[in-house]
Every structure is written in C-alpha cells, then in structure tokens.
Amino acid sequence: MKNYNEMTKKQIMNEYIELMEAYAPYADRLRELWVQDRITYGALINYDAYDSYGRKNISDMISKASAAKKFSQYINCSTTKFDWTYNIKQLDFAVSRTISFVETQESLEFEQTQKQLLIANGEITYMD
C-alpha cells in the first residue's frame, strides 16, 4: 500500500483514477465468476469495490467540487486532507482485496471455488 499521507489532494485524485482503471477488468472478472457459479451473490456484493465506502466518498467529493464555481478552491477549502487520505486507503484496501479474491477463485478448480465448496458442505443449497 502506498503512503497516501505524503500525497497532495490532487495526487490522491489521480491515484483514485488509476485505482479505478486498474480495478475495472477485475470487476468484469468478478461478475463472470458469479455467472459461472463459482462464487455466491453475497461474495459478488462483498468484493465489489465499486460499492466501497472509500470510492463513494471520493466520488461524492469530486462531484461536489465539479459543481462548485471554482473546482480547486472547493477541493482546498471544503474538504480536509484526512477525508481524502482515509477514503483512498479504504478504496486501495477494497481493490487489493478484490483482486486477490478474483485471482484466487480463477486459479482454483471449479469444485474448489467458494460457491461449490459451500454447496458441497451443505451450507447452501443450489437452486436453478
């Protein structure tokens, strides 16, 4: 994980964009795992970084700044460095966690994936 405490708000915004671009193919792969019955819907929702707290907050801060008359003045005056740092850390954690989960599930045999193990152990029942 990067040291976000050393970054400016503008650098954090750029990092946000980079994280979301890096995450995009994994979001598609996560949904594909669900379609293939390799993971449960609960795992899909749990590991979807688009719904993470950090992404929502940063997106809201950028949207509000975009609606303001002076973008940079809004960013510098209306939001704290802590807001940006905390939320980018949360997003980075969510993206890293999702990438790890997707890569692990893709590397497993079908019978060893998250959903199939739950079915085999009788923890959930499979319904068409």
Residue 127 resides in a domain: no
Residue 50 resides in a domain: yes
pLDDT at residue 74 tops 90: no
Please give the Cα distance from 61 to 70 (Å, whole number): 13
Please give the Cα distance from 25 to 89 (Å, whole number): 20
Looking at the structure of the chain, the number of domains it has is: 1
What domain range includes position 14?
Answer: 4-120
pLDDT at residue 7 tops 70: yes
Q: For position 80, what pLDDT does the model report? A: 80
Residue 1 pLDDT grade (very low, low, confident, very high; cuts 50, 70, 90): low
12-51 pLDDT, tens digit per residue, is: 889 999 999 999 999 999 999 999 999 999 999 999 998 8
Residues 6+ apart with CB under 8 A from 24: none
Please give the Cα distance from 58 to 92 (Å, whole number): 12
Residue 108 per-residue DSSP state? S
* Surface-to-core class of residue 50, CB atoms within 10 Å of its CB (0-12 exposed, 13-18 middle, 19+ buried): middle
Residue 95 resides in a domain: yes
Question: pTM value?
Answer: 0.84
Residue 19 resides in a domain: yes
94-112 pLDDT, tens digit per residue, is: 999 999 999 999 999 999 9
Residue 125 resides in a domain: no
- Stretch among 8-12, 93-97, 111-115 having the lowest mean pLDDT: 8-12
pLDDT > 90: percent of the chain: 52
Residue 79 pLDDT grade (very low, low, confident, very high; cuts 50, 70, 90): confident
Residue 45 resides in a domain: yes
Residue 26 resides in a domain: yes
Nearest Cα to 114, choosing from 37, 21, 32, 17?
A: 37
In the block, tokens 């405490």 appear at 5
